[in-house]
Amino acid sequence: MKILGIDPALTITGYGVIVSLSNKFTLVEAGIIPTKPKDCIGKRLGKIFSGINKLITDTKPDCLVLEKIYAHYRHPTTSYILGQARGVICLAAFLNNVPLVEYAATRVKKAVVGKGLASKIQVQRMVTSLLSLSSLPKYTDVTDALALAIAHSYIERHRR
């Protein structure tokens, strides 16, 4: 199964594509789609949409995995901004007929690390190990996207 994990954000959207066969993972592609804070919101969302659309076209994933929005009462604007980025990603998945799956961050951490409250560094190290990477990815957004893809593989395997 080829899985596209995306960690959406307005400034840096991380992505990771893996192939999962049995208990083995192969990294296909990973990176970021950056936008410039000085650009208008429409241009930034357009860049995210175009980037995800091209990524889907190029890699042809079987599904796309996103993290569910967690809205903290102290930072309500964050969920609003995140929702805009997620919206264009969901649209790209729909227009390309790619099934969309969502998981809570704690569910992803539990699937990948074994603890729902695992730290970012624990997730980074586990992703690096599972994909046999020589070093930690430069951006945590990439690690988070890869963790989403890996978690989906584990969760789907246990559903069957």
Active site residues: 7, 67, 141
Q: 18 vs 66, 68, 153, CA distance in Å?
A: 14, 20, 10
Which secondary structure element, helix H or strand E, spans residue 22, and what is its range?
A: none
Virtual CA dihedral for 4, 46, 142, 93, nearest 10 degrees?
-10
d(CA 68, CA 25): 23
Q: Which residues of 17-47 are buried (b: 16+ CB within 10 A; e: fewer)?
A: bbbbeeeebebbebbbbbbeeeeeeeebbeb
Diameter over CA atoms, the chain: 47
Let me know: does 31 contact 142? Beta carbons within 8 Å.
yes
d(CA 159, CA 35): 37
